[in-house]
Amino acid sequence: MVGLGNPGERYAYTPHNLGFLVADRLAARHGIRMARKQAMSLVGVGEIASAQVVLAKPQTFMNRSGAAVRALLEAESLGADRLVLVYDELSLPWGNLRVRARGSAGGHHGVESVISQIGTTEFPRIRLGIHPGRPVEDGAEFVLTPFPRARLEELNEFVDRAADAVEVLIAEGVDKAMAKFNRRARGLEKEEE
């Protein structure tokens, strides 16, 4: 499971670091120490739902995440189908999450980097909605701005739910995780592709 984000305290509690927060939550839940440096990432190895897992937080910065993901898959001798990518999604409303078996990057530069480096879109992912429900003039600035204090309790619940989704995906597969966690986002007329 690779959570996307940016290294450094400056970015710790920003929307772009939701993937890191989910990796940290899973590590805490399952007693996995994420301190080993491997494949340009902080990595922890342990067990979730009776499965051996590698939790990783690429340290290459978001837009270059693909190099770390490719290096990690190679180091662990894993195919892309064994990757679970977790990341923020500005096109989804805040607090909504989507489990997908495959798909395009949808304009997310971190995901574009991963797809470019591993050469496929055929990997499970969990997209975490961060759209605030009001117009966002500068998306890059928005994703790198710390969460407001009023959002932190919701953030904790959202990260818990995302970690739950990863656990179900690992234990029961992507189809069961999709059935359990995917719901039509408020404000969308139809389920997105």
CATH number at residue 43: 3.40.50.1470
- Tens of pLDDT, residue by residue over 103-126, are 999 999 999 999 999 999 999 999
Give the CA count within 13 Å in the CB-facing half-sphere of 105: 17
Instruction: Tell me whether residue 24 is in a domain.
Output: yes
* E strand map for the chain: 2-3, 36-38, 41-48, 51-58, 85-93, 97-100, 125-131
Q: Is the pLDDT of residue 190 over 60?
A: no
Q: Which residues are catalytic?
A: 16
How many distinct structural domains can be found in the chain? 1
pLDDT attached to residue 183 = 76
Instruction: Tell me whether residue 171 is in a domain.
Output: yes
- Tens of pLDDT, residue by residue over 40-66, are 999 999 999 999 999 999 999 999 999
Instruction: Tell me whether residue 192 is in a domain.
Output: no
Query: How far, CA to CA in Å, does 77 sit from each of 82, 124, 189?
Result: 10, 17, 41
pLDDT attached to residue 191 = 46
Distance between start and end Cα atoms, the chain: 23
Instruction: Tell me whether residue 190 is in a domain.
Output: no
Comparison of pLDDT for 150 and 44, the residue scoring more: 44
Q: Which domain holds residue 151?
A: 2-181
pTM equals 0.94
pLDDT attached to residue 189 = 45
Instruction: Tell me whether residue 186 is in a domain.
Output: no
Q: Which two tokens stand for residue 86?
A: 């977790």
Instruction: Tell me whether residue 42 is in a domain.
Output: yes
The average confidence (pLDDT) of the chain is 94
